[in-house]
Amino acid sequence: SQTIHQWPATLVQPVGSPLSLECTVEGTSNPNLYWYRQAAGRGLQLLFYSVGIGQISSEVPQNLSASRPQDRQFILSSKKLLLSDSGFYLCAWSDGGEQYFGPGTRLTVT
Amino acid sequence: DQQVKQNSPSLSVQEGRISILNCDYTNSMFDYFLWYKKYPAEGPTFLISISSIKDKNEDGRFTVFLNKSAKHLSLHIVPSQPGDSAVYFCAASDRDDKIIFGKGTRLHILP
């Protein structure tokens, strides 16, 4: 069966520091991968999605970037965090149908 | 511009009664609709879906209804149980596999 892992579970970082969140999927190959953010009082905002290694589409202009160095690895990064980057970050995968979400990372930028 | 709208941020329903969560969409190219359930500090879990060629899909206590002419879908939960208290996200996708989520409705099941 397929599983999706995200780490870390929680993170507190100062403004201006870098960020790296990692997501890996097991039990499937060539999945579509997604990064979402859920900010306080808001819905799930799609940040990036990838249909293959090295193929990244950005949905919103922002302070963040994403990379897919391997088929089942998806990384969310920032060179300098902003206060507005605080939120709950979710990675998801799909094989063309429903999306399945990881446990999420709670990021607090102070 | 919100393509998927959940106009009720919260809903309270007595245990045992029917919960009805509503969702509207604007993009007529959407052909697949989903509902997700989310507990605090966890990732959303897939609940039920419906293709645009259907107007109803049922799975146990959960039924999703789709009205394409009104661009409206709803999730019915009956009977409602305490464990159903969560945030419910409506979502829609077109053929490029991107899913657009609504802002969610927080459902409270009252004892």
Q: B25 near B92, Cβ under 8 Å?
A: yes
pLDDT tens sequence for chain B (111 residues): 689 999 999 999 999 999 999 999 999 989 999 999 999 878 899 999 999 999 999 999 999 999 999 999 999 999 999 999 999 999 998 766 678 899 999 999 999
A4-31 burial code (b ≥16 CB/10 A, e <16): bebeeeebebeeeeebebebbbeebeeb
pLDDT in tens, A24-70: 999 999 999 999 998 766 678 889 999 999 899 888 767 899 999 99
- Nearest chain A residue to B9 by CA: give it: A41
- Nearest chain B residue to A37 by CA: give it: B43
Number of A/B CB contacts below 8 angstroms equals: 49
User: Which residue among B41, B43, B49 places its CB closest to the CB of A101?
Assistant: B43
Residue B59: its chain A contacts at CB < 8 A? none
Q: Does A32 touch chain B (CB under 8 A)?
A: yes
User: Which residue among B45, B98, B101 places its CB closest to the CB of A43?
Assistant: B101
Interface of A with B in 41-60 (CB under 8 A): 42-46, 49, 51, 59
